[in-house]
Amino acid sequence: MNQKIALMLPAKDFASDWRRFNLVANYIAEYASYFFEHRDRAENVISSVFYELLEHMAAISRDDAGLSVRLRTQDGRVLFEISSSNPRPEALELSRKLLGVLGSADIDSLYREILEAPSTDQAQLGLTMLAHDYRARFSSTEDPSGAVTLLATIGLEELIP
Amino acid sequence: MIITGEKYNISYDALDQQVNFEGYVRTTSQADIQTIMDYLVDLHGRQNGSLRLNFRKLRYMNALGLKMIADFLVYARQADTLTVKLIGSKVIPWEEKSLASLKGVWDSVEFLVHDDHFYGSQGIIEDADFIPLLRNQTRLLWPREKPVLVAHGLREGMRVADICCGCGDVALLIARELKPGSVVGVDHSGPAIEHANRLQKEFEVRNAEFRLGDATALMMDDEQFDFVICRLSLQIFSKPEQILRELVRILRPGGRLYLTGEDYDLIVGYPNERSVRDVYEKAGSYGQQIGMDLYNGRKLYSMLLGLKMKSVRVDTIDADNTGANRPIFAEVITSWRRFSAETIGRELRISEEERQQLLAGYDAHLATIRHPHGYTKWSVVAASGEKSK
C-alpha cells in the first residue's frame, strides 16, 4: 500500500456522540482494506487500532481541536497517525508519561496489572491493549503551535493470517 | 433475557450454557458495561460446571469491553465454582489477539478457536445435516414445550427416559429445569451420544445420563420409568409400532408416555402463503418416498388409544416468528431447506429442476420470516397417555 488516506475531524463531534469513534474507525478501515491482500483481516485490525487511538486523542483534546487522521504503510509497517491541533496540557502530560511507560515497561506485566485492577483508566487501557495484543509501538511529536501527533505503528504481519 | 445495545445483542442459550455476543461492543458508557457485567454475574450464579462466552459473531470489542470481560474472569476466578470458556473465531483477528490475552488473568480460562478445535468431534457432528437442525428446533420449541411437559404430568423426582434423544439437548434441559430424579437419554447415533455425554459432563448435570442404543430393542428393564418421552422421532421410522412397543414396556403402570410429531399441514406463512404451502406439501411427499411420515402428529392420539393408554391428552406446541424468535426461526427453515433439498433430494435423486423448485419454496418461506410484517407458525403435536395399571 503506497496509498495514503487522511481525514480531518472536529474533536467536539466525538465528545457529543461517542458512536463516531466506531463510525470513523470502520470507515477508514473499510476504505484502506482494499489496499491489502487479506482484506477482511486488514479491515478488522485497522479498525480495532484506529478506534483506540481516536478515543485516546479525543480524550486529550479540547473541544475546539481538530483531529487529523492519517494511515499509510512504510518499511513493512502500518503507520497510524493522529494529530490534535489543541490538546489539553494536563491530559497531554499524562499521555507523554504513558508513552514513556509503554516504551520501557514489560508490556505483559503491565497489561495484566491493568486487566486485574479494580478500576479502569481508559486512556491507559486502550494503548496498552494495542501494545500488548498488536505489538504496537508509539511515538509522539509536538510542534511550536502546540499541536501534538501520536504515531502508532504495527507490523504488516499483524494483517496476515 | 437479551441485552440489546446500540450495536449489539447479548443473549443466553441454555442448551450450551452459553452467552452469545453479536454485533459490536464498543461503548464508552460505564452504565452499559455495568449492565453487561451484572448479566454475566447473574448467569454465573445459575450454572454448574462451565459457562461459555461465545464471541464468534462479535465483530468488534473495544478495550473497555475487554476490561469488562477481564473483570468477569477475575470474579469467576475468585468465586471458583465454574470454569469459563471463551469461544472465538480465527476469521476475526481481534478475537484471536485479545481474547487469547485474557488467559493472563486466569490461567484456567479456556480459549477455543471454534474453527480450529472447538471440541474434537464437533466438526463431524455439526457437519451432519441433522444435528444443527435438531438444535435449532429445540431452541425454538423448548420455551413452549417446557410448560406442555409439565401439563402432561412430568414432575420433580420422576424417573424419565428420553428415547431417540438425539444430541441430548432436551434431556439436559429437562434435567436442569424440571428437576426429575433422573433422565436417561438413548439414541442410536454415536456422535450424538458423545455430544450429549460431553455436555452432561461439562455442565455437571448429575441427574442425566446417555446411552447408545436401539429404540426397537432397548437394554432397559420393564416398567422402570415414570415418564417416557419420544420427541419428533416416530415420523422417521417406517415401522413406529416397534418403537412404541418398547416405550410402553419400559413405562411403569400409571406412568405417562409422551410423544410429539410433525404435521406439515400445520406450517403456515403469510405473505407467500401459496409458496409456503406448496413447498411443505412437496417436502412431505418426498419424505413419504423415503419412509418418513411428516404428518404423523395427527395420528398420535389414535396410536396412544391403540396402545390402550388412558387419559390421553393432546396439545399443539406453537412456535411463531414474533419477537426474538425471528432469527432462530430463520435458522430452522434454513436447516430444513438444506436437509430437504440436499440430503433427501440426493437420496431420492431428484432432478435439478425439482431441487431448484424446492429451494425457491424454502426461500419464499424465509422471505416471509424476514419480511417486517411477515408471520409464520410451526405447530408440533404433543400427545400423552397413561399406561393402564
3-class secondary structure, B216:
coil
In total, the C-beta contacts within 8 angstroms joining chain A to chain B are: 71
The long-range contacts involving B124-127, CB below 8 angstroms and separated by at least 24 positions, are: B124/B191, B125/B167, B125/B191, B125/B192, B125/B194, B125/B195
Q: Do B28 and A122 touch (CB under 8 A)?
A: yes
In contact, B8 and B35? CB cutoff 8 Å: no
A111-128 tens-digit pLDDT: 999 999 988 777 789 999
In contact, A84 and A15? CB cutoff 8 Å: no
CA nearest B98 in A: which residue? A133
pLDDT above 90 as % of chain A: 70
Alpha carbon distance A25, A32 (integer Å)? 11
| Alpha helices (runs of H) in chain A, residue ranges in sequence order | 11-16, 19-33, 39-59, 89-104, 107-116, 122-133
Alpha carbon distance B273, B279 (integer Å)? 10
Q: Do B62 and A115 touch (CB under 8 A)?
A: no
Distance set, CA A5 to CA B78, B295, B343 (Å) = 47, 61, 49
Q: Is A129 on the interface with B (CB under 8 A)?
A: yes
Q: Which residues of chain B have pLDDT under 70?
A: 114-129, 324
| Gyration radius (Cα) of chain B, Å | 22
Q: Do B60 and A22 touch (CB under 8 A)?
A: yes
Q: How far is B167 from chain A (nearest CA, A)?
A: 34
Residues 6+ apart with CB under 8 A from B111: B85, B86, B88, B99, B100, B102, B103
The long-range contacts involving B115-119, CB below 8 angstroms and separated by at least 24 positions, are: B115/B89, B115/B90, B115/B91, B116/B90, B118/B87, B119/B198
DSSP B158: -
B323-373 tens-digit pLDDT: 768 888 999 999 899 888 888 888 889 999 999 999 999 999 999 998 989
pLDDT for residue B126? 38
Tell me: pLDDT of A3 over 80. no
**A18 alpha-carbon distance from chain centroid:** 15
Q: Is A134 on the interface with B (CB under 8 A)?
A: yes
Sort residue B98 into left (φ over 0), alpha (ψ -120 to 50) or beta. Answer: alpha
In contact, B56 and B88? CB cutoff 8 Å: yes
Q: Do B101 and A111 touch (CB under 8 A)?
A: yes
pLDDT for residue B153? 98
Work out whether the CA dihedral A57, A58, A63, A66 comes out positive or negative. positive
Please, what is the average pLDDT of chain A?
Answer: 91
Q: Is A74 on the interface with B (CB under 8 A)?
A: no
Q: Do B67 and A120 touch (CB under 8 A)?
A: yes
Q: Is B92 on the interface with A (CB under 8 A)?
A: yes
ipTM of predicted complex: 0.94
Q: What is the Cβ-side half-sphere exposure of residue A117, based on CA atoms within 13 angstroms?
A: 13
Which of B60, B63, B105 shows the shortest C-beta gap to A47? B60
The long-range contacts involving B137-141, CB below 8 angstroms and separated by at least 24 positions, are: B137/B232, B137/B332, B137/B335, B138/B15, B138/B169, B138/B170, B138/B173, B139/B13, B139/B15, B139/B328, B139/B331, B140/B319, B140/B325, B140/B328, B140/B329, B140/B332, B140/B378, B141/B317, B141/B319, B141/B380
pLDDT for residue B24? 92
| B25, B28, B91, B105: best to mutate for the A interface, most A CBs within 10 A | B28
